[in-house]
Amino acid sequence: AFHLANGAVLERINPCADLSDRGIAQSHGVMVNYRYDPDRVEANHEAFVQDGRVVLSKSLQREFDRYLAEKS
């Protein structure tokens, strides 16, 4: 939550990124990338701290929206 609380965007999710014993134990092998957009850091920080909302990259948001549409 460190990067999210500091205003980063969740840019990408990398499944099977760290398949070492430690990687599996810590995060089931999943790793993520964050991106800091200087023009949006403050708004992203507030969204996370006040509302618990994670700001997604455009591509992740599209995938998430598609997933939600399929579920309904």
Q: Give the per-residue pLDDT at 72.
A: 86
Task: Note if the pTM is more than 0.85.
Answer: yes
pLDDT tens digits, residue range 22-34?
Answer: 999 999 999 999 9
CB atoms within 10 A of CB 31: 14
Number of domains in the chain: 1
Q: What are the beta bridge partners of residue 19?
A: none
Q: Which domain holds residue 14?
A: 2-71
Counting as low any pLDDT under 70, the low residues of the chain are: none
Radius of gyration of the chain (CA): 14
3-class SS of residue 56: strand
